[in-house]
Structure 1
Amino acid sequence: MSLPGRFRTSSFCLDGGCVAVAPTGDGRVEIASTLDAGATPIAFTRAEWDAFVAGVKVGEFDSHVLHL
């Protein structure tokens, strides 16, 4: 299945099991799974998305931090 063209995935997404991201017209950011294009995307406010991206950049979600 294919997501609408507004969604983008990482260039590292080769197997199809990836997260796709799309900006919305009202400033939110939506994420969706490339495995289930029919599922409803999850929406985040711009502030929520910016906080998530900032956490990723500083390693907040690295597996050694999460104790996985």
Structure 2
Amino acid sequence: MLQTNKPIFFEKNIQSLTTLAHSLGIRVVLSTFIYSDEFPETNILFSDQAIKDAIEEQNEVLRDISAGI
């Protein structure tokens, strides 16, 4: 499911929020999501490669948007 559903709406939402913030004179700071493979016992959700790939995909969207603001 994650592989077929690209983060199109995520990207549009972040772009809309940053545009709105800028129009109101608000400085925008975006942050990527971080996880570590070094602690698998505390991050069971992140043992699934599809989840890791989806997180990286969203992080890439955030990096691209950040580069343009």
TM-score by length of 2: 0.24
Which has the larger Rg? 2
Which structure's relative contact order is higher, taking Cα pairs within 8 Å and 6+ residues apart? 2
TM-score (norm 1): 0.24
Q: Which has the higher helix share?
A: 2
